[in-house]
């Protein structure tokens, strides 16, 4: 097998496996059974959402291809229902005020990682530049590895939602989505697109890669919205 075929085979196996989890999750009623109190939203005492366990390392999870994108070759296109569709370069991003936030990661495969220090541009500051129209209620995001993901626009206005260029004061590594990834801590980590390429503002929600394969349209870890 050549490299491309290996990557394709690996991707197919991973996708089959995660589709199977989504099917089984549905059979079990949408949630992994755990004897614990109902999950409380962040800020009301509970830190670990139901069905999660804490890890100290930082796993790499994706479809198996890590695009090689020097910062000078990276662009982000913001399009769809906005007054000013714009193509941002890495240097353009650096001209927008920088934000640093510490947040927890909750991956739907059940690991959580506390206290990740991200730096970059707050998604709401970036959005302010393009002026979304009132009818724009969702976004469909595309990445350089072909990945897609959808979410409501509201989540991009959360103060913790960032287009991150740095993690723990160091440039984001290629395997974790460098030079620029999305971070939306209020949703399961599959919504945080690595190697982000475009954000399209749309009126009606459209399924992304995992949403088309049995995963939840929203993915709120505090409501255990793992599977559709
Ligand atoms: N472009 C892209 N972004 C992606 C993915 C992917 O395959 N491609 N996988 C998602 C999933 S399922 C998870 S859990 C996180 C993993 O991010 P990490 O590798 O930095 O831990 O990235 C998300 N963003
Ligand atoms: Mo994931």
Domain ranges, ordered by start, for the chain:
3-29+46-223
> What digits encode the pLDDT tens for the residues 169-209?
999 999 999 999 999 999 999 999 999 999 999 999 999 99
| Confidence grade of residue 49 (pLDDT, cut at 50, 70, 90) | very high
Question: How many whole angstroms separate alpha carbon 13 and alpha carbon 104?
Answer: 28
For residue 39, the model assigns a pLDDT of 45
Q: What is the pLDDT of residues 146-157, one digit of tens each?
A: 999 999 999 999
For residue 111, list its beta bridge partners: 53
The mean pLDDT value of the chain amounts to 91
**Entry pTM:** 0.91
Q: Which residue has the higher pLDDT, 27 or 212?
A: 212
Q: How remote is the CA of residue 155 from the centroid of ligand 2, in Å?
A: 18
Nearest alpha-carbon partner for 224 in 17, 19, 28? 28
Q: Is 170 exposed, middle or buried (CB count within 10 Å of its CB: 0-12, 13-18, 19+)?
A: exposed
Query: Is 41 a residue whose pLDDT tops 70?
Result: no
Query: Which of 189, 191, 198, 227 has the most ligand 1 atoms within 8 A of CB, as the residue to mutate?
Result: 189
Ligand 1 is surrounded, with C-beta below 6 A, by 58-63, 107, 143, 145, 147, 176-177, 189-190, 192-195
Q: Which two tokens stand for residue 179?
A: 């030079």
Residue 205's pLDDT is 98
Torsion angle defined by CA atoms of residues 56, 193, 70 and 169, in that order, rounded to the nearest 10 degrees: -40
Strand pairing category for 196-202 and 75-80 = parallel
C-alpha to C-alpha distance for 102 and 106, rounded to whole angstroms: 14
Residue 32, pLDDT above cutoff 60: no
Would you state the pLDDT for residue 1? Answer: 63
pLDDT: is 218 or 5 the higher one? Answer: 218
pLDDT tens sequence across 77-126: 999 999 999 999 999 999 999 999 999 999 999 999 999 999 999 999 99
Q: Which fold has domain 3-29+46-223?
A: Sulfite Oxidase; Chain A, domain 2 (3.90.420)
Helix (H), strand (E) at residue 156: none
CB-proximal residues (5 Å) to ion ligand 2:
61, 107, 190
Of the ligands numbered here, which is closest to the C-alpha atom of 58? 1
Distance 222 CA to ligand 1 centre (A): 19
Q: How far apart are CA 101 and CA 178, in angstroms?
A: 17
User: Which residue shows structure tokens 């590895």?
Assistant: 145
pLDDT band at 31 (very low <50, low <70, confident <90, very high): very low
């Amino acid at each position: 097998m050549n490299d491309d075929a290996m990557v394709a085979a690996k991707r197919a196996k991973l996708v089959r496996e995660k589709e199977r989890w989504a099917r089984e999750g549905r059979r079990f009623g949408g949630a992994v059974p755990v004897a614990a109190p109902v999950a409380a939203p962040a800020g009301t005492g509970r830190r670990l959402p139901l069905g999660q366990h804490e890890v100290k390392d930082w796993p790499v999870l994706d479809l198996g291809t890590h695009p090689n994108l020097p910062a000078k070759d990276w662009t982000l296109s913001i399009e769809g229902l906005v007054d000013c569709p714009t193509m941002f370069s890495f240097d353009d991003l650096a001209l927008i005020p920088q934000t640093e936030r510490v947040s927890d990661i909750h991956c739907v495969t059940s690991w959580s990682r506390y206290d990740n220090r991200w730096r970059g541009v707050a998604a709401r500051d970036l959005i302010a530049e393009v002026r979304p129209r009132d009818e724009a209620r969702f976004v469909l995001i595309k990445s350089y590895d072909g990945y897609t993901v959808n979410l409501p626009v509201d989540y991009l206005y959360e103060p913790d939602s960032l287009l991150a260029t740095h993690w723990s004061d160091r440039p984001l590594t290629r395997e974790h989505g460098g030079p620029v990834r999305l971070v939306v801590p209020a949703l399961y980590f599959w919504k945080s697109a690595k190697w982000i390429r475009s954000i399209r503002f749309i009126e009606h929600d459209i399924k992304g890669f995992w949403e088309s394969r049995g995963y939840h349209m929203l993915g709120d870890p505090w409501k255990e919205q793992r599977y559709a």
